[in-house]
Structure 1
Amino acid sequence: MFKDRLRATRISKKYTAQQVADYLDTGLRNYQKYESGDARPTFEGLVSLADLLNVPTDFLLERDEYLDALGVSVDVSLECPPRRPKPRKSH
């Protein structure tokens, strides 16, 4: 999924979520929604993310078969630490 690919790429490139949010000129919470899957960037935001992370937009969108067909390979580790569980809402 986009959210997992985005997070793994950010971590592989050694950016903090805050650094990426600042680059996108958005708030940290808004960026975190991209990584949690609660929101998606605009087209312009997607292009900016790809530029910052130095990967094709198709890589972030997990269009690996398409990239393979073009002979494009991306050297990014997709291994990353597990996500923290979401806090439970108290009633």
Structure 2
Amino acid sequence: MYYVTSVLKTSQTMYARYERGTNELPIHHLIALCKLYNISADYILGLTDKK
């Protein structure tokens, strides 16, 4: 988890809020996660099963 929060330059608390849906994930964080995990935004958003 620490690695992801350091890549996104956000706190663990804020990242947990994204996961719970309390706060919306900013687009620039979505893009960073796609690059980090080498997957599509559609996969992260649950719109497809294809990574």
Which of the five TM-score ranges fits, normalised by the shorter chain?
A: 0.7 to 0.9
Q: Root-mean-square deviation (CA), in Å?
A: 1.4
Query: Structure 1, unaligned stretches of length 5 or more?
Result: 1-16, 68-72, 75-91
Query: Identity over the aligned pairs, expressed in percent?
Result: 25
Query: Structure 2, unaligned stretches of length 5 or more?
Result: none
Amino acid of the residue matched to residue 45 of structure 2? L
2:37 corresponds in structure 1 to: 53
Q: How does 1:6-45 map to 2 (within 5 A)?
A: 17-45=1-29
Normalised to the residue count of structure 1, the TM-score between the two structures is 0.50
Which structure has the bigger radius of gyration? Answer: 1
Distance 2:15 2:35 in 1: 16
Q: Report how many residues are paired.
A: 51
Distance 2:19 2:3 in 1: 14
Distance 1:40 1:51 in 2: 19
- Deviating above 2 A after TM superposition, structure 1's stretches of 4 or more consecutive aligned residues are none
Higher fraction of helix: 2
